[in-house]
């Protein structure tokens, strides 16, 4: 796979104006981006996602470290390297609010040595693709947030860059528009051979559209993995035991002492124990505890795990065992 962006040990600190307190927003951040992928930057509030995105698109300078875009270091040849990137940042829309949808597209399509016919074809294609045809004569400030977001991405497409950076592209959109934006992003990668980096809080978006995720916590990269592999890693260690009799207090305590994150639920017919094992052999420790009262096991299943659960486990620090 062709490496399009190489991010080498970036550091960035901010100094708070009033208190003069220094905040290290990004610490030794290091990852690559490959051609044709959708990479999801994920992390809790304040993790350093936006800072990383701003560093990549040249809005901020790192204190140290380097970003190479198509092998060109952006610290040395800034303009040349930034030529390959367009960005849609949250709250900083690249649109003219008093122009119509079509006028915005015409404005940003202009001056690139294309004939009028070519520009018209390109704009028609984008209006079609982003389902904005029936809004082409609407002023941007009259559009819904979702329509504005779609137009902002369409405008970024006009720059014809290999890489698009999108900060929280589905934030605040209704369900339908959010799904529409996801489909558009997938088709941009598939049909236009672009590479997309998105930052998002929305785990479902990351799971649905991203090939790979880089998870940042407290300014550092804690995971850099394919999304499907990450889920698999955690899935193989999650077991759900259905028991025919409830566990005694003593058994519950013994299990919690060894597996603090276990979940135990009782109902009239069955009891359910869900445990996260570090190694599959650890299941025998559960059997030992069950043996204390000869608790009968009805079934043992691998528990399907959602990506948001995986994310929480990683943020809580439960990733080291998974990676071993």
Contact between 221 and ligand ATP (CB under 6 A)?
A: no
Minimum CB distance to ligand ATP smaller for 46 or for 172? 46
- Closest distance to ligand ATP from the beta carbon of 38 (Å): 18
- Closest distance to ligand ATP from the beta carbon of 173 (Å): 17
Dist CA 248 CA 322 (whole Å):
30
The dihedral region occupied by 70, where left means phi > 0, alpha psi between -120 and 50, and beta the remainder, is left
Contact between 169 and ligand ATP (CB under 6 A)?
A: no
Supply 222's token pair.
């804690």
Number of shown-chain residues binding ligand ATP (CB under 6 A): 12
DSSP classification of residue 100:
B
Name which position in 7, 40, 43, 152 contacts ligand ATP (CB under 6 A): 43
Contact between 14 and ligand ATP (CB under 6 A)?
A: yes
Residue 173: Cβ within 10 Å count? 22
Dist CA 52 CA 79 (whole Å):
18
Give the Cα-Cα-Cα angle 173, 176, 177 (nearest 5 degrees): 45
Contact between 51 and ligand ATP (CB under 6 A)?
A: yes
Dist CA 19 CA 61 (whole Å):
22
Contact between 9 and ligand ATP (CB under 6 A)?
A: no
Minimum CB distance to ligand ATP smaller for 13 or for 274? 13
Contact between 23 and ligand ATP (CB under 6 A)?
A: yes
Dist CA 4 CA 162 (whole Å):
9
Contact between 178 and ligand ATP (CB under 6 A)?
A: no
Q: Assign 3-state DSSP to the chain and report helix, strand, coil percentages, each to 5.
A: 40, 30, 30
Residue 35: Cβ within 10 Å count? 16
- Closest distance to ligand ATP from the beta carbon of 167 (Å): 8
Contact between 137 and ligand ATP (CB under 6 A)?
A: no
Contact between 48 and ligand ATP (CB under 6 A)?
A: yes
Contact between 25 and ligand ATP (CB under 6 A)?
A: yes
Q: Where do contacts with ligand ATP occur on this chain (CB under 6 A)?
A: 14, 16, 23, 25, 43, 45-51
């Amino acid at each position: 796979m062709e490496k399009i962006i190489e991010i080498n040990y970036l550091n960035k600190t901010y100094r708070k104006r009033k208190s003069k307190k220094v905040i290290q927003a990004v610490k030794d951040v290091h990852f690559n981006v490959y051609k044709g992928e959708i990479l999801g930057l994920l992390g809790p509030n304040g993790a350093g996602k936006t800072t990383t995105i701003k560093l990549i698109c040249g809005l901020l300078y790192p204190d140290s470290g380097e970003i190479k875009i198509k092998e060109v270091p952006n610290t040395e040849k800034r303009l040349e390297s930034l030529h390959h990137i367009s960005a849609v940042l949250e709250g900083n829309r690249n649109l003219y609010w008093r122009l119509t949808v079509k006028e915005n597209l015409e404005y940003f399509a202009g001056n690139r040595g294309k004939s009028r016919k070519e520009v018209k074809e390109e704009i028609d294609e984008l209006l079609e693709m982003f389902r904005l045809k029936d809004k082409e004569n609407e002023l941007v400030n009259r559009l819904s947030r979702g329509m504005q977001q779609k137009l902002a991405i369409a405008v970024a497409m006009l720059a014809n860059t290999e890489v698009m950076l999108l900060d929280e592209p589905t934030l605040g959109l209704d369900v339908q528009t959010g799904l529409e934006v996801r489909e558009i992003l997938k088709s941009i990668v598939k049909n236009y051979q672009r590479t997309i980096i998105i930052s998002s809080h929305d785990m479902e978006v990351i799971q649905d559209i991203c090939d790979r995720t880089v998870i940042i916590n407290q300014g550092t990269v804690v995971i850099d993995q394919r999304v499907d592999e990450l889920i698999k890693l955690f899935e193989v260690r999650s077991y759900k035991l259905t028991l025919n009799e409830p566990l005694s207090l003593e058994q519950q305590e013994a299990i919690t002492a060894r597996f603090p994150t276990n979940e135990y639920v009782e109902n009239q017919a069955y009891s359910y124990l869900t445990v996260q094992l570090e190694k599959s052999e650890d299941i025998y420790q559960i059997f030992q505890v069950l043996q204390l009262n000869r608790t009968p096991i009805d079934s043992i299943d691998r528990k399907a795990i959602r990506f948001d659960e995986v994310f929480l486990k990683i943020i809580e620090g439960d990733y080291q065992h998974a990676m071993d």
